[in-house]
Structure 1
Amino acid sequence: MSEPSDARTAACVSIAWLILINKPIYPLYVWALIGADAATRSLGTLALAPLYAAAPFLARRSTRGARIALPLIGLADTLYATKLMGAATGSEFFLVACGLLAIVGFPAREATIARTLVIVVYLAFLVLHGRYGAPLQTWTAEEAATLFTLNLCAAASLAAFIGLRFATVA
């Protein structure tokens, strides 16, 4: 597999791989924190995981396409996970990482793309926040609170990784 030709795309590809590799671990965290039944209910969060492999695939054909795809894949995954798990679980926190990728993934000469992606992520939040309806999975208040903390920590960790990974990108 060839490496992307620019540092921003390489950073996006590494983030896509990080997410793809870590997605199957999420139900294990849920199992450890809540139990086997909850872990089984959380398996649906893996449904869109294969989409993250699109970024490395696209990077070999279009570096810009890969950098555009990653925040959009994250957006779709976050919206799906929020509908599946429920807003009370804090799944929406991952929108911050999507917006961050939309910003750092593009140099100044591609500011229009970055701005457009940020607006798309923000509008999705504005339109859907509080309007997801009943989650596809049900949780007790205690389970939802545990998932909220897990998702908050995971989203903050992802945002920190994105910041650290892009800190050296010129």
Structure 2
Amino acid sequence: MSPSSLWQSIKAYAAHDDPLVATANTIALVVVSNQPFYPLYLYWLVGPDVAPSYWLFLSTPLFAAVPAISRLNTVAGRVLLPLAGIANTMLSAKAFGVASGVEMFLIPCVLIGFVVFRPSERIIGLAIAGLAFLVFTMLHGNYGQPVHVYTPEEYASFVKLNATSVGTLTAFVGLLVAGLISQRGGT
């Protein structure tokens, strides 16, 4: 399969007549495409012990399934995206420890929960935000010993990496939403 036909297949998989569904599908596939690079980012920016990051691939099928689920039920597909993100964040907090700053990924999960639902579906976004808040308040500091304990210097690098990743994902979601607003005739 040529790169061009692969790209066309990915675009077709993400496509949907409902722009909010297409947005959720795009976000999910961007996350999927970035997950294989996370161990490399860890190696380059944190240190050589990247084995705990392999646990995070457990969430890849959830993100990859968002467009397929959306074809069956648009609400379920859009709900799956932030729920997969929350689950991935919880798994990451256990793998790396909360000192890694990985819980910051709950922020884009909340944002996604608010922006991929219509005003008539606002209760879903509020429930997702509430779940993210509960996960943070109830589990922060209660994950037990991480899979691997990093040095204070490595954790400082981890926080920088995760803050940059969260900022990038949040900005990407913002750009997608700005595009939706512009399509609706907003200025």
Q: Do Structure 1 and Structure 2 share a fold, with TM-score over 0.5? A: yes
The letter of the residue matching 2:80 is: A
The count of corresponding residues between Structure 1 and Structure 2 is 169
Using the TM superposition, name which of 52-61 and 94-103 deviates more.
52-61
- Cα separation, 2, equivalents of 1:113 and 1:43: 31
Q: Does 1:124 align with 2:135?
A: yes
Give the corresponding residue for 2:31. Answer: 19
Once the two structures are aligned, what percentage of the paired residues are identical? 36
Unaligned 5+ segments in structure 1 are none
- Deviation of 1:45 (Å): 2.4
Q: Name the structure, 1 or 2, with higher relative contact order (CA <8 Å, separation 6+).
A: 1
Structure number with greater Rg is 2
1:18-54 CA distance string (max 9 Å, x none): 000000101111111234x323343222222221011
The letter of the residue matching 1:64 is: V
Q: How big is the alpha-carbon RMSD for the aligned residues of Structure 1 and Structure 2?
A: 1.4
Unaligned 5+ segments in structure 2 are 1-11, 182-187
Matched residue of 1:8: which SS? helix
The letter of the residue matching 1:43 is: Y
Give the corresponding residue for 2:165. Answer: 154
Distance 1:116 1:34, change over 3 A: closer
Of 42, 59, 66, the residue aligned with 2:53 is: 42
Question: Within 5 Å, which residues of 2 pair with 1:9-158?
Answer: 9-35=21-47, 37-158=48-169
1:123-157 CA distance string (max 9 Å, x none): 11111112222111221111111111101110111
- Alpha carbons 2:100, 2:162 under 8 Å: kept: yes
- Alpha carbons 2:52, 2:147 under 8 Å: kept: no
- Alpha carbons 2:46, 2:155 under 8 Å: kept: no
| TM-score (ref. length: structure 2) | 0.85
Matched residue of 2:49: which SS? helix
